[in-house]
Every structure is written in C-alpha cells, then in structure tokens.
C-alpha cells in the first residue's frame, strides 16, 4: 500500500524523496492549523510591508544586478510573472519523470519551512502537481547553482500559472489544456512567490537524493561481485580477515571486508599464491571509501533538503526580512563532485576485476573469455570478449566525468552572481557517472555469474553463499555466444528498481 508523506516543515530523509519519486509514497501538504497559520503569517507580512511602502528585494525591486531599480507599486503584481518568463531559456533534454518528482518534493520541502513568505494557495497548487502527477517539462541545462536553480525552476513556476508544458502519463502536453480538462485554476503569483519558487536549490537537491540512494546500492553490490570474482579465481579469502581489518579500522572499509568475508564463507586458502592482484585484495579499501563517505554526504544533502534556501527570507515570528545567499548550492556541489569520484572508482574496480576474469593469464584456470563452449565449437566462441571491451568504454567515460564541476565557477549576471556553485551540473554529472557505473556492474554480474558457473561445472568447490548469489542474478549461463544487450538491460532495470540485485 502506498504510504503518505506529509509536508509539514518536519525533516525529510533522502529515502523519503526517493520513495516519492517512484510513487511508493504520495506527498500531501499538512492540514494542521498551526502549520497553515505560520505559512500565512509570512505571506501576510509581505503584504503588510508592501502596504507600508517597505522595500523587499525582488518584490519592490528588480532582480539580481537590477536591485537598484525600484518597481512602481502598480507593477509589483506583474513582477513574479516576468521572472519566470524571462528565465524560460532552458535547453537540453528534459529531466526524467522520477527526477522531476524529486525536484518538486525538494522545492515543497523548502517552502514549508515557513520562511519564504508564500501563501497556502501557492503551496496547494504545488502539492497538486505531485498528487495528480502533473510534471513540469524541465530542460536540464541552464543553471549555475546560484542564485539557485533559476532557469529550471522557472518551468515549475510557469506550470503553476498554467503555462508551458507538463508530462501526463508519459505524454508531453500543454499545461493550459491539461488544467482546463481537469478543472485546475492557474494561480496568479503573489509578491515574493515567483522568487520563492525559483530562487533555491531544489533541482540539484532532488537529483542528489536520487544519486545518493543509487550509490549506496552500488557499493553493496560491488562487494558481492568481488566475493564472486575471488571465489571463481580461487582467490585468497584471508585478504578479508577480520583481524587484518582491525589494524586499519576505517568503519566502511571494515564493513566492506565483512560483506566479502560473509560471501566467501567456506572458502579455502589458495596454496598456489599468497597475494591476489589489487582489484581483489584491495577491494574493501576501494568500497570502504564509498561507505565512509556516504554518511558525510547524507548530512550535506539532508541539511540542504530541510532548509529554507531562497532569498530573502521572511521570519513570521519577528517580521524580519533577511537578505542573504542561501540559494548558493555549494554543499550539494561538493557532495555530488565527491560522489561521482568515489562511484567512478567503483566502476574502475569492477572493470579491473572483469579484465582478470576473462584473461587466461590471470583467471587461474577458467576458459578464455569465459566461454562455455567446449570441444570443436570452442574455436568459434568468443564468450565475453566484447562485453569486457564495452565495460572498459563505460568505465573510461565515467572516469572522464570526475572533473569537479564546482571549481569552474563563472561570473554571471553583470557580476552580481560572480561566484556560483555549479551544483546542478555536478548533480547531473553524478547521475551520469552512476548510470555508467551501473552498466559496468551489469557487465560484472554477467561475468561473475559465468565464472562461477564454469568453476562449479569443473567440479571445484564454490562457497554456498556465492552459489546462492549466482542463482539470484537470474542470468542464464553462456554456452554458445548470444546477444547480451537484453540481459544487460534487464539487469539495469532490476538494479535501478531495487537499488541492488
């Protein structure tokens, strides 16, 4: 049964956003009277300040470098509409369905903190998009990550007002037509609401939540695959000894070694060699970096998710209008630049293990390219030769994308936005690195499954947990060469749906 996720200003976790993005949870705005009163208090203070001819950035002034341009009172109601209109310059493919839901959830979570000066009416309209799954078509490119995700979030603001396009049941349609058919009234943004929607870090933060969850699944999977590779090649299980890892007690590294050790339960020490190659022997040290980094990244992402990150902020308790720079996405930029680094290292680890498994110089008695063909037919069988090449290509592309985006700050908008985070580019890069690494992992699944099959077929002892893992992968052993793309795509679908295998 689908669970309810209430937006009431209380903290959300990364897993909440990820579940909502898959429609495993449905988001609803709280109906609690004290919560709603707090929201309305902020909007009322904006209205009161306007009535008293007070000055609020982006409400009575132009935007950005145009802050010195006063806006005549009679034109203030138009200003929010102008903001999302001139930011309609996004390019590139639109974000995916799950990514867009995560973006909407991140924006709503920030606004319900009660410091953005928006109305309950506007929040209800944003909630409606999530409830009815009317998803703004948001181009991926065009944000520098400060002053927030202005250009992509302009597409959310426009849809609230009945403009631009939405995805409905996977189809791209005009928002105005969909609203009319469903009896939804476009809203007229009140002063400060356009800025509140757009001037924040929701795009990078929503993407970061999805990236984090996928990374956690890959870390555990790579440990399982390492155990299978070690067992198939008759590796030395003492490389993962508990006492050994007490001597270098990084918690994540110890955890990774424990996972591998559990899968190798029953393995016997190799009599032919003391030490395996680094991609096997040092796998806990590579996976451990991911495991020890993830808690730190969670803190950064969830702090951003549960923050008020637009500008200015309106304190409903004191009435203070606080001008600052909370739209700056530096923490998410660091998280995503770091994540793509540690995940690309997983791709490299798995790629090296695949290369060992298919090579008769290093796989300790397994068939060349792990072909399952025997006798005369082995001469025309090439097994996993091409799969290893493709895995290497995916790994190279993942490694290439590890250049940190956050160090490429640009001075923009008449040098008002002269230091920017590029957090959204970092998040998009991280998702691409994850996609490529998942492809390498799918190739590794096929490779290790085949290696374990050949090992068992030879009559050699294989640890029971490894045999169980091989069965759970639901991949038919490769006897005669076959097209492996369907297997790869099926594995990727399972991996992304379940977070692992």
The pLDDT > 90 percentage for the chain reads: 91
Neighbours of 209 (CB within 10 A): 29
DSSP 3-state of 93: strand
Taking residues 47-71, report their average pLDDT: 90
What total number of domains does the chain contain?
2
Going by C-beta distance under 8 Å and a sequence separation of 6 or more, which residues neighbour residue 501? Answer: 221, 224, 445, 472, 473, 491, 494, 495
Least confident stretch, 64-78, 95-109, 160-174, 219-233: 64-78
Say how far apart CA 446 and CA 478 lie, in whole Å: 9
Average pLDDT value for the chain? 95
Q: Is the pLDDT of residue 500 over 70?
A: no
At 112, list the tokens.
């319900």
**Does residue 450 share a domain with residue 386?**
yes
C-alpha closest to that of 71 among 195, 224, 176, 242: 195
Q: Is the dihedral of CA 494, 27, 163, 414 positive or negative?
A: negative
Phi first, then psi, for residue 429 (nearest 5°) are: -60, -45
Task: Tell me whether residue 324 is exposed, middle or buried, using C-beta atoms within 10 angstroms of its C-beta: 0 to 12, 13 to 18, 19 or more.
Answer: exposed
pLDDT tier at 495 (50, 70, 90 boundaries)? confident
What pLDDT, in 10s, does the model give residues 150-178? 999 999 999 999 999 999 999 999 999 99
C-alpha closest to that of 116 among 209, 33, 200, 206: 200
C-alpha closest to that of 368 among 383, 386, 389: 383
At 469, list the tokens.
């893992």
Q: Is the pLDDT of residue 458 over 90?
A: yes
pLDDT, position 147: 85
What pLDDT, in 10s, does the model give residues 376-408? 999 999 999 999 999 999 999 999 999 999 999
Phi first, then psi, for residue 417 (nearest 5°) are: -85, 70
| Segments in 67-201 forming alpha helices (H) | 76-86, 97-111, 120-131, 150-160, 175-182, 193-198
**Does residue 234 share a domain with residue 111?**
no
At 174, list the tokens.
């005009």
pLDDT, position 472: 92
Taking residues 200-229, report their average pLDDT: 97
Taking residues 477-493, report their average pLDDT: 96
Q: Is the pLDDT of residue 302 over 90?
A: yes
pLDDT, position 45: 92
At 88, list the tokens.
């309609």
**Does residue 354 share a domain with residue 311?**
yes
At 434, list the tokens.
């994850």
**Does residue 313 share a domain with residue 164?**
no
Residue 100: give its domain's CATH number.
Answer: 1.10.275.10
Contact 310, 122 (CB under 8 A): no
Last residue of a domain, one of 171, 200, 229: 200
Residue 427: give its domain's CATH number.
Answer: 1.20.200.10
pLDDT, position 438: 97
Q: Confirm whether pTM is higher than 0.85.
A: yes
At 224, list the tokens.
């399982």
Taking residues 39-63, report their average pLDDT: 91
**Does residue 444 share a domain with residue 369?**
yes
DSSP 3-state of 112: coil
Last residue of a domain, one of 200, 234, 264: 200
Rounded to 10 degrees, the C-alpha dihedral 243/248/249/251 comes to -100
Q: What is the CA radius of gyration of the chain?
A: 26
Contact 336, 204 (CB under 8 A): yes
Taking residues 460-486, report their average pLDDT: 95
**Does residue 311 share a domain with residue 195?**
no
pLDDT, position 272: 64
Say how far apart CA 316 and CA 325 lie, in whole Å: 19
pLDDT tier at 306 (50, 70, 90 boundaries)? very high
**Does residue 492 share a domain with residue 374?**
yes
Last residue of a domain, one of 200, 235, 261: 200
**Does residue 277 share a domain with residue 173?**
no
- Is 86 assigned a catalytic role? no
**Does residue 225 share a domain with residue 187?**
no
**Does residue 211 share a domain with residue 181?**
no
**Does residue 247 share a domain with residue 101?**
no
Contact 123, 43 (CB under 8 A): no
pLDDT, position 54: 86
Catalytic residue among 57, 63, 212, 278: 57
Q: Is the pLDDT of residue 321 over 90?
A: yes
**Does residue 455 share a domain with residue 353?**
yes
Contact 337, 425 (CB under 8 A): no
pLDDT, position 501: 60
Cα 28 from chain centre = 23
- What is the largest distance, in Å, between two alpha-carbon atoms of the chain? 92
pLDDT, position 496: 82
C-alpha closest to that of 388 among 452, 437, 460, 447: 447
What pLDDT, in 10s, does the model give residues 125-138? 999 999 999 999 99
Domain of residue 266, residue span:
207-498
pLDDT, position 241: 95
pLDDT tier at 273 (50, 70, 90 boundaries)? confident
């Amino acid at each position: 049964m689908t669970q309810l996720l209430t937006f009431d200003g209380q903290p959300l976790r990364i897993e909440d956003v990820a579940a909502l993005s898959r429609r495993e949870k449905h988001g609803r705005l709280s109906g609690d009277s004290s919560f709603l009163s707090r929201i309305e208090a902020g909007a009322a203070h904006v209205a009161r300040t306007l009535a008293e001819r007070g000055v609020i950035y982006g409400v009575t002034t132009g935007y950005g470098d145009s802050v010195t341009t006063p806006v005549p009172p009679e034109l203030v109601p138009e200003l929010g509409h102008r903001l999302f209109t001139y930011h309609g310059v996004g390019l590139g493919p639109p974000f995916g369905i799950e990514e867009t839901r995560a973006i909407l959830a991140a924006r709503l979570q920030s606004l319900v903190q009660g410091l953005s000066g928006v109305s309950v009416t506007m929040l209800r309209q944003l909630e409606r998009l999530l409830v009815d799954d009317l998803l703004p078509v948001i181009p991926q490119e065009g944000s520098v990550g400060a002053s927030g995700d202005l250009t992509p979030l302009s597409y959310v603001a426009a849809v609230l007002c009945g403009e631009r396009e939405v995805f409905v049941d996977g189809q791209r349609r005009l928002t105005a037509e969909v609203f009319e058919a469903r009896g939804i009234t476009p809203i007229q943004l009140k002063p400060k609401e356009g800025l509140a929607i757009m001037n924040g870090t929701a795009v990078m933060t929503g993407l970061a939540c999805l990236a984090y969850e996928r990374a956690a699944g890959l870390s555990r999977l790579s440990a399982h695959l390492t155990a299978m590779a070690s067992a198939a090649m008759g590796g030395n299980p003492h490389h993962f000894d508990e006492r050994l890892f007490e001597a270098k007690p990084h918690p994540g590294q110890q955890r990774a070694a424990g996972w591998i050790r559990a899968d190798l339960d029953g393995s016997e020490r190799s009599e032919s060699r003391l030490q395996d190659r680094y991609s096997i022997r040092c796998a806990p040290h590579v996976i451990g970096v991911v495991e020890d980094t993830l808690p730190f990244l969670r803190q950064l992402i969830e702090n951003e998710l549960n923050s008020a990150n637009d500008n200015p902020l309106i304190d409903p308790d004191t009435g203070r209008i606080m001008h600052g720079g909370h739209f700056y996405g530096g923490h998410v930029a660091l998280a995503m630049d770091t994540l793509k680094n540690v995940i690309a290292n997983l791709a490299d680890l798995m790629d090296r293990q695949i290369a060992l498994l298919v090579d008769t110089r290093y796989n300790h008695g397994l068939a060349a390219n792990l072909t399952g063909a025997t006798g005369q037919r082995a001469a025309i069988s090439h097994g996993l030769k091409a799969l290893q090449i493709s895995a290497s290509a995916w790994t190279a592309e993942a490694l290439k994308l590890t250049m940190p985006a956050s160090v490429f700050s640009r001075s923009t908008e008449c040098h008002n936005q002269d230091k920017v985070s590029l957090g959204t580019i970092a998040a998009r890069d991280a998702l691409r690195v994850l996609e490529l690494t998942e492809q390498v992992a799918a190739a590794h699944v096929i490779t290790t499954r085949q290696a374990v099959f050949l090992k068992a077929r030879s009559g050699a002892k294989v640890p029971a947990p490894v045999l169980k893992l091989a069965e759970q992968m639901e991949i038919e052993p490769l006897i005669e060469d076959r097209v492996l793309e369907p297997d790869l795509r099926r594995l990727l679908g399972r991996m992304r749906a379940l977070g692992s295998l």
